[in-house]
């Protein structure tokens, strides 16, 4: 007999009461993200058949060349959230500044802001490698009824009320948390419906995979170099396996399922790190912690960092608890 899977919509409704801000707005917001994800998934799957590959000809605020799919995904998520009138503000990795959104009666009544990386790893699209979307949701801190301000977006990760990612790969999955565990939903493309396929996702306490761009090894700090050598040493359950896709969502997803650590440290050429605190590190840290993992900048918990600007960069170490703790140990020892 065919196994009956619960749909994402059914799951959201059934679990709405367990969420402390149970007003129905968060459910509508998650459904809006679900809809936009399906639209972007459709476009990603057409790559190579229509003119959506390659660079768009512009740079984003970080000075990175925007891919055509970056622009498309950014537009789709913003348009979908705007039209459903469920958020009062959006900040995107692809936008210079945050976007303030009026409610239908122009009274700014909505309570949530969304921060989003519309298409993480988009440079991999041209070579048919998995990419993803990362999202983070906060309750506004300014009074309802007023336009949002920068303070609504510059909140530490501990204030997140929901976060997750969509991975566009051999199958398309939406993985998210509202602070009560992590669940993954796989898209059935024939029906256009997400089904609960990975309930209660959890990192193993340790693993045997380390994910880092070792081409930058000479630029890393001594503590990071020492940890990499530890991973490579033939002793006990080592050497570990090196696996690096170059798409945060893909590397994170694999390591959460199999056990491992993802690292993007600061270096002599990226002195603050490369990943964005608000669009990438905070949401992934929230998911990781809810899945029995850890996320650190090498010294401190990612979600306790007070952001100073929208596009702030930080070092990022994330994965199985014991592996992140060991990396921190090597970094601390080297700095002693």
Q: DSSP of 87-107, one letter per residue? A: -SEEEETTSSS-EE---TTSS
Phi first, then psi, for residue 279 (nearest 5°) are -95, -25
**CB of 120 within 8 A of CB of 131?**
yes
Q: Could you tell me which of 318, 320, 60, 31 has the C-alpha nearest to residue 193? A: 31
Q: Are 275 and 237 in contact (CB under 8 A)?
A: no
Q: Token pair 């959890």 is at which residue?
A: 202
Q: Which residues are annotated as a binding site for substrate?
A: 120-123, 213, 244, 274
Name 2's Cβ contacts closer than 8 Å, sequence gap at least 6.
none
Which amino acids are annotated as binding site for Mg(2+), given as ranges?
Answer: 93, 117, 119-120, 280
CA–CA separation, 139 and 128 (whole Å): 36
Largest CA distance in the chain: 65
Of 118, 80, 117, nearest to 101 by C-alpha is 80
What secondary structure letter does DSSP report for 4? P
d(CA 281, CA 167): 16
Tokens describing residue 264: 């993007």
E-strand stretches of the chain: 55-59, 65-67, 89-92, 99-100, 112-120, 131-139, 162-168, 172-177, 183-188, 193-198, 209-211, 241-242, 260-264, 275-276, 293-296, 313-314, 316-320
Binding residues: 93, 117, 119-123, 213, 244, 274, 280
């Amino acid at each position: 007999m065919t196994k009956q899977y619960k749909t994402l919509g059914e799951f959201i409704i059934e679990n709405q009461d367990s969420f402390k801000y149970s007003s129905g707005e968060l459910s509508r917001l998650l459904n809006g993200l679900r809809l936009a994800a399906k639209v972007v998934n459709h476009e990603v799957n057409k790559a190579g058949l229509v003119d959506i590959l390659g660079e768009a000809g512009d740079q984003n605020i970080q000075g990175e060349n925007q891919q055509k799919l970056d622009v498309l995904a950014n537009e789709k998520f913003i348009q979908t959230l705007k039209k459903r009138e469920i958020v009062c503000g959006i900040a995107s990795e692809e936008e210079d500044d945050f976007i303030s959104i009026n409610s239908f009666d122009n009274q700014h009544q909505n309570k949530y802001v969304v921060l989003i990386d519309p298409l993480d790893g988009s440079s991999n699209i041209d070579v048919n490698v998995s990419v993803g979307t990362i999202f983070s949701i906060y309750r506004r801190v300014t009074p309802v009824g007023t336009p949002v301000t920068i303070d609504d977006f510059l909140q530490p990760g501990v204030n997140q009320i929901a976060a997750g990612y969509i991975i566009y790969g051999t199958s398309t999955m939406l993985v998210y948390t509202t602070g009560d565990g992590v669940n993954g939903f796989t898209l059935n493309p024939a029906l256009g419906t997400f089904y609960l396929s990975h309930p209660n996702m959890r990192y193993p306490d340790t693993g045997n995979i380390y994910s880092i761009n070792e081409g930058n090894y000479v630029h890393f700090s001594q503590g990071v170099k020492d940890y990499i050598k530890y991973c490579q040493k033939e002793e006990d359950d080592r050497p570990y396996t090196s696996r690096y896709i170059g798409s945060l969502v893909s590397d994170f997803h694999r390591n959460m399922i199999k056990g491992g650590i993802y690292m993007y440290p600061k270096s002599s050429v990226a002195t603050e790190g490369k990943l964005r605190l608000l669009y990438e590190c905070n949401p992934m840290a929230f998911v990781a912690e809810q899945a029995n993992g850890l996320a650190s900048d090498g010294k401190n918990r990612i979600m306790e960092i007070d952001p100073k600007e929208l596009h702030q960069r930080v070092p990022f170490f994330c994965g199985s608890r014991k592996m992140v703790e060991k990396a921190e140990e090597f970094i601390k020892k080297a700095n002693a």
